[in-house]
Amino acid sequence: MSNKQENSELVSLKNVQIYQGNSLILADVNLTIQKGEFVYLIGKTGTGKSSLLKTLYGNIPLQKGEGEVCGFNLRNLTWKNVPFLRRNLGIVFQDFQLLTDRNINENLLFVLKATGWTDKHLMQEKIDSVLAKVGLKGRGNKMPFEMSGGEQQRVDIARSLLNNPKLILADEPTGNLDPDTSDEIMHLLFSICKDYETSILMATHDYNIIQKFRSRIIRTENGKLTDNAFVY
């Protein structure tokens, strides 16, 4: 399912039409994202940002056009092989979506078991590694409610790193955070992009972040996706 192309081009959409049910949300979408590239996805609420992300991680079937993500053909995806696609992806949510009845180690362990890990020693090594990467070394025994919003977002990012993703899809990851904490999360995401050569597509409404942490921008507007939509 993988090939040499995925080494440099992790996302390729050509003449894609994105639907929600029978409603056309985005037409004639053409997009490529290279390995290690950081891309902002901007646009008003309801213009198709979430629909685009859901298409990329297999939650919305691709009906028209050509699409490939991490070597997987989106037109050929079935419910049986969607989990294999998602093992190549990390997904970061605005509202963290942590399991509130278990500590951080157990949250991360749950994901590893669900994605096929079995060796207890290797699982703990991986948990320790991702928590260290996001600045939470030794905090695995904390419950989510004992952590600040910024710390919970770091856990969410750590969770997205568990299976060494080629691509991270981040949906408003700073939406519920104060400006200082948002800056910390952005520094973390850019360091992951650089250190691991992980591509990141980040949906955001926060133009202050876009101004401060410059990178490529794509925009959803009037049923289209516009590339190189620079914000000054």
Q: Do the bridges between strand 9-20 and strand 23-34 make them parallel or antiparallel, or are there none, so unpaired?
A: antiparallel
Average pLDDT by consecutive 10-residue portion of the chain (232 residues)? 56 96 94 96 92 94 95 92 90 84 96 90 96 94 94 94 94 90 94 94 93 95 83 48
Neighbours of 153 (CB within 10 A): 29
Give the whole-angstrom CA distance, residue 229 versus residue 202.
14
CATH number listed for the domain at residues 37-58+81-227: 3.40.50.300
Give the whole-angstrom CA distance, residue 43 versus residue 220.
5
The closest alpha carbon to 43, from 225, 188, 219, 196, belongs to 219
Locate 1 and state its tokens.
Answer: 């399912």
Give the whole-angstrom CA distance, residue 124 versus residue 127.
5
Read off the pTM: 0.90
Render pLDDT for 57-84 as a digit per residue (tens, 0 to 9).
999 999 999 999 999 999 999 988 888 8
Half-sphere exposure of 156 (CA within 13 A, CB side): 25
Element (H, E) at 18: strand 9-20
Give the whole-angstrom CA distance, residue 76 versus residue 83.
13
Q: What is the pLDDT of residue 97?
A: 82
CA dihedral 89, 121, 194, 104 (to 10 degrees): 70
Give the whole-angstrom CA distance, residue 162 versus residue 18.
29
Domain boundaries, the chain: 37-58+81-227
Locate 220 and state its tokens.
Answer: 């959803």
